[in-house]
């Protein structure tokens, strides 16, 4: 495939010299395929890098929140059910709360989609929030449904899990620091 011929902002097909759009990789006049414009390739690379940063940020945030929650639960495990009733007794209320959080994340996602079409691109934080809420509420629903097994597991292996949970918290915090900045080292715009 030959490259596009371009000068300034005018892009021409290398076969028939018809003016084509910068986004095209196929001539509408002669049907010749050509390589994408360097600007489009750069935009696609930046978009892939942004998606990787966003996925990394979501995983890091969820890891920090869940590991911190489990760490707090494990540190007060002996007195836990004196302050908080066992989940299996109020499972319905917890499920309703987690399901409402799940629905709220879908509302935020739809709002971001509408905002992207009418007002421009929403901020990075606003884009990530529905995914974070969706992840945490989905994991919460699973934990509520398996509450007895989780309770039993935490009681039986609290001492051996503590270093792993502290490690997960440290890794999640490190991930947040890494994914918060651009590859150039500058802070990302919110």
Q: Are residues 57 and 137 in the same domain?
A: yes
pLDDT digit string (tens) for 19-78? 777 777 778 888 888 777 777 788 888 888 888 888 888 888 888 888 888 887 777 766
The 3 state secondary structure assigned to 48-84 is HHHHHHHHHHHHHHHHHHHHHHHHHHHHCCCCHHHHC
Q: Are residues 57 and 102 in the same domain?
A: yes
- Euclidean distance between CA atoms 141 and 143, whole angstroms: 5
Residue 115, domain member (yes or no): yes
Q: Are residues 8 and 56 in the same domain?
A: no
**Which residues are paired to 20 by β-bridges?**
11
Q: Are residues 116 and 93 in the same domain?
A: yes
Helix (H) or strand (E) holding 12: strand 10-12
Residue 163, domain member (yes or no): yes
Stronger pLDDT, 166 or 152, i.e. the higher one: 166
Residue 186, domain member (yes or no): no
- Are 99 and 164 contacting, i.e. CB atoms less than 8 angstroms apart? no
Q: Are residues 64 and 30 in the same domain?
A: no
Domain count for the chain: 2
Q: Mean pLDDT for the chain? A: 77
Residue 97, domain member (yes or no): yes
pLDDT over threshold 70, residue 6: no
3-state helix, strand, coil in the chain (%, to 5): 65, 5, 30
Pick from 178, 50, 52: which is nearest to 124 by CA? 50
pLDDT digit string (tens) for 106-138? 898 888 877 766 666 667 777 888 888 888 888
Domain coverage including residue 98? 48-179
């Amino acid at each position: 495939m030959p490259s596009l011929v371009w000068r300034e902002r005018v892009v021409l097909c290398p076969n028939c010299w018809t003016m084509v759009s910068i986004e095209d990789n196929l001539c509408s006049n002669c049907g010749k395929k050509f390589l994408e414009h360097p600007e489009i390739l750069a935009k696609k690379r930046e978009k892939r890098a942004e998606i990787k940063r966003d996925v990394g940020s979501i995983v890091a945030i969820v890891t920090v929140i869940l590991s911190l929650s489990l760490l707090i639960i494990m540190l007060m495990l002996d007195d836990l059910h004196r302050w908080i009733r066992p989940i299996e007794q109020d499972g319905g209320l917890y499920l309703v709360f987690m399901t409402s959080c799940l629905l709220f994340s879908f509302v935020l996602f739809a709002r971001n989609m509408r905002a992207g079409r009418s007002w421009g691109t929403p901020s990075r934080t606003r884009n990530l929030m529905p995914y974070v809420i969706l992840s945490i509420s989905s994991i919460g629903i699973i934990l509520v449904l398996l509450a007895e097994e989780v309770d039993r597991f935490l009681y039986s292996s609290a001492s051996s899990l503590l270093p792993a949970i502290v490690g997960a918290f440290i890794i999640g915090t490190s991930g947040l620091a890494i994914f918060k900045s651009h590859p150039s080292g500058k802070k990302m715009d919110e």
